[in-house]
Amino acid sequence: MSKSLWITALALSAGMCSASFGQVTGKVTLKGKAPEMAEIAGIKNAPDCAKMHKDPVFEETVITGDKGELANVVVSVKVPEGKDLGTTPTTPVMIDQKGCVYSPHVVAVAVGQPVTVKNSDATLHNVHSLAIDNPAFNFGQPTVGQKKIEPFKTEENFKIKCDVHPWMACWVRVVNNPYFAVTSSDDKAIGTYSIDAKGLPDGEYTFVAWHEKYGTQEQKGKVAGGKAVVDFTFDTEKKAAAPAAKELKVSTTAACCDAKGAKAVAAK
């Protein structure tokens, strides 16, 4: 075999091996009529952000496809009692602020995983966490830049908002293992998810699907050969199985931040 053919064969072999890692895949669907999402009119009053959007911007609480495929659902493996699953991911999760919108709208992160908050706007934002079980934070980002925050210490669902631009919000779901994914909002793959199951032992597991409006549901699924297909259906007519997050009453007055950010927000 020539050297070039040997290299090609080796590359193909490596590609096949990398593609052989198990995947837990599936789709999440919403049964019933999805609520209409309101336009975020406030962005028009923030010129620096408004110019970054060619089209109107709408709330992202419920995003569905033509057949009810539901985006922004966190699907994860529930750790069996008394066991540990996987190792903590080391790749940082990025929470961006761009065009006066949090991106992504729903963030999934493992306990202990690095988290970075980015401001892509040349305008002041403040990042105000409403966490209860994890330490809350509230800091200003007056210019373009990034800030690392302390990794989360325990499972929780909580909201992050901006006191400067009240329409800005995202949700964070913290899970205690690396086997999770968020259903896509991309038109070609909306409502689908894929969890890299590398290192997940075969067996029967409970899978959890969480949505900020429709709450939490669970179902069993069997992983065999590192693979499984687990689908979920949320129903607009049924009450959520569990609240999306704990209730937390907070003042609407900004009580943040640091340095220039604090003064600028307080002046609003």
- Residue 35's pLDDT is 96
**Mean per-residue pLDDT of the chain:** 85
pLDDT band at 39 (very low <50, low <70, confident <90, very high): very high
- Residue 244's pLDDT is 56
Above 70 in pLDDT, residue 187?
yes
* 3-class secondary structure, 131: coil
- Residue 22's pLDDT is 62
- Residue 13's pLDDT is 37
Residues 84-108: what's their mean pLDDT?
A: 96
- Cβ–Cβ < 8 Å for 99, 217: no
Residues 48-77: what's their mean pLDDT?
A: 96
Q: Where are the domains of the chain?
A: 21-266
pLDDT band at 133 (very low <50, low <70, confident <90, very high): very high
* 3-class secondary structure, 47: helix
Neighbour tally for 55: CB within 10 Å = 5
Q: How far is Cα 68 from Cα 232, in angstroms, rounded to an integer?
A: 12
Above 80 in pLDDT, residue 250?
no
Query: Which CATH code for domain 21-266?
Result: 2.60.40.420
Share of the chain above pLDDT 90, in %: 76
- Cβ–Cβ < 8 Å for 91, 118: no
Among residues 227, 175, 230, 226, the alpha carbon closest in space to that of 201 is found at 226
Above 50 in pLDDT, residue 118?
yes
Above 50 in pLDDT, residue 10?
no
Helices (H), the chain: 3-19, 47-50, 260-266
DSSP secondary structure code for residue 50 in this structure: H
Structure token pair of residue 266: 């307080």
Strand bridging mode 232-235 / 23-31: parallel
Chain centroid, CA 45 distance in Å: 27
